[in-house]
A = this chain, B = another copy of it.
Amino acid sequence: MAKQVTKKSKDSCIINAAVYQGNERLCSVNLDEAGEWAKKPDHIVWIGLYEPDEKILKKLQKQFNLNPLAIEDANQTHQRTKVEQYGDSLFIVARTLESQGKYIALHETHIFVGKGYVVTVRHGGSASYGPVRLRYESLVHPFKDNEQFITYSLLDFIVDNYIPVVERIHHDVEQLEDRITKGPFEAEDVEELHRLQRNLLRLRTAVAPMVEVCKRLEHGDLLPVPPDIQELFRDVTDHIRRVQDEIEVLREVLVFAFNTNMMLGQVAQGDITRKLAAWAAILAVPTAIAGIYGMNFQFMPETQWQYGYFAILAVMFTICTTLYLLFRKNDWL
């Protein structure tokens, strides 16, 4: 509760805000001076926000001269995964994943990138970008004094976080597949299949448009990208496409599982019907015979015989046994 109150208090949504020269952290920065710092050559302002209120966003807009439409989008979730260019700045919307029990939850991160600044806006359970910042501060890398390198690091982090989720689904799908050879699915297997299909669909919703985003960044469709950064973006594209390929394969595997199970169900239904029929036939014989000798006719010669009863028992037994063997031979039993 207290936490939620804190979250709403002024600036509590600012997770981190600092100026960097190269990858060296100069100082923390106040939102109201961020624009000026960003304009200094070779300086980069990197601000991390978590579910900011409108006031903060308005400040940001003023500092970096952001487009009001982008700011409006950043204030809402349920945006499409996309990258859009507004003047000389980019607005990126990326989906992040979180395993919630058996289902996958989708969250969002919005990124503003422009000359001299990077702003991340996290919503919901998006993982913190603290590790990205730490790595940035600690690594020595030729192109680190570049807002596009930070953008790359963020997207790389987001995409890398997809992989354990996909791997878990992969694992669950394989378990379901192993289940196939053990006869038709029970209700809980069917529900598991449904759950996996839903998760894969949700995953695909997040991943598929991300390929487009990465490709556009890689090819410098929007802003010119130096070749070495281009190679980095290509690497992210490659990772995300690997995830996408995996999703498509898993989706198809589930379709196979569905079809195979429908067929096995049909086979099982056929087996059981045949078995039922066979036993019904076997049992019908003594019933019919017993019925006949249960009739109350006064003159029924067999009933007078000394061993009629045993004879008829023998006849019943013989016919039933013969039928049983015949059905066995025909694989009905």
Interfacial residues, chain A to chain B (CB-CB below 8 A):
67, 69, 73, 78-80, 82, 84, 86, 177, 180-181, 183-187, 190-191, 193-194, 197-198, 201, 205, 231-232, 234-235, 238, 241-242, 245, 249, 252-253, 256, 258-270, 272-277, 279-281, 283-284, 286-288, 290-300, 302-309, 312-313, 316
Q: In the complex, which residues of chain B have a beta carbon less than 8 angstroms from the beta carbon of A242?
A: 78-80
The complex is assembled from copies of this chain, and their number is 5
Q: Do residues B281 and A286 form an inter-chain contact, with CB atoms below 8 A?
A: no
A141 to chain B, nearest CB (A): 10
Of B262, B280, B298, B316, which is within 8 A of A266 by CB? Answer: B262
Q: Do residues A201 and B287 form an inter-chain contact, with CB atoms below 8 A?
A: no
Give the CA-CA distance A180 to B86 in the complex, in Å: 45
Given contacts A190-B260, A290-B292, 12 further A-B contacts (CB under 8 A): A84-B238, A184-B267, A190-B263, A266-B266, A276-B277, A295-B312, A296-B296, A297-B308, A298-B303, A299-B305, A299-B306, A300-B309
Q: Do residues A303 and B292 form an inter-chain contact, with CB atoms below 8 A?
A: no
**Given A194-B256, A293-B296: A275 touches B272 (CB 8 Å cut-off):** no
Q: Do residues A293 and B295 form an inter-chain contact, with CB atoms below 8 A?
A: yes
Of B80, B180, B261, B284, which is within 8 A of A263 by CB? Answer: B261
Nearest 8 pairs of A and B residues by beta carbon: A290-B291, A293-B295, A297-B309, A265-B266, A294-B294, A194-B260, A190-B263, A300-B309
A31 to chain B, nearest CB (A): 24
Give the CA-CA distance A304 to B309 in the complex, in Å: 13
Give the CA-CA distance A307 to B205 in the complex, in Å: 75
Q: List 28 contacting pairs A-B, 8 Å CB cutoff, sorted by A.
A: A79-B238, A79-B242, A82-B238, A86-B231, A177-B198, A184-B266, A186-B267, A197-B256, A201-B249, A261-B263, A268-B270, A269-B270, A270-B272, A272-B274, A272-B277, A273-B276, A277-B279, A283-B284, A283-B288, A286-B292, A287-B288, A290-B295, A292-B313, A293-B295, A293-B297, A294-B295, A295-B303, A297-B303
Q: In the complex, which residues of chain B have a beta carbon less than 8 angstroms from the beta carbon of A306?
A: 299
Which one of A69, A73, A263 has the highest number of Cβ atoms from chain B below 10 Å of its Cβ?
A263
Q: Do residues B313 and A309 form an inter-chain contact, with CB atoms below 8 A?
A: no
Of B264, B294, B316, which is within 8 A of A190 by CB? Answer: B264
Give the CA-CA distance A266 to B260 in the complex, in Å: 13
Give the CA-CA distance A9 to B308 in the complex, in Å: 85
Give the CA-CA distance A258 to B291 in the complex, in Å: 47
Q: In the complex, which residues of chain B have a beta carbon less than 8 angstroms from the beta carbon of A273?
A: 269, 272-273, 276
Give the CA-CA distance A64 to B56 in the complex, in Å: 47
Q: Do residues A193 and B277 form an inter-chain contact, with CB atoms below 8 A?
A: no
Q: Do residues A253 and B298 form an inter-chain contact, with CB atoms below 8 A?
A: no
Give the CA-CA distance A181 to B103 in the complex, in Å: 15
**Given A186-B267, A276-B273: A309 touches B295 (CB 8 Å cut-off):** yes
Which one of A73, A232, A235, A305 has the highest number of Cβ atoms from chain B below 10 Å of its Cβ?
A235
- Closest B residue to A295 by beta carbon equals B293
Give the CA-CA distance A143 to B262 in the complex, in Å: 56
**Given A187-B264, A276-B280: A300 touches B290 (CB 8 Å cut-off):** no
Q: Do residues A298 and B304 form an inter-chain contact, with CB atoms below 8 A?
A: yes
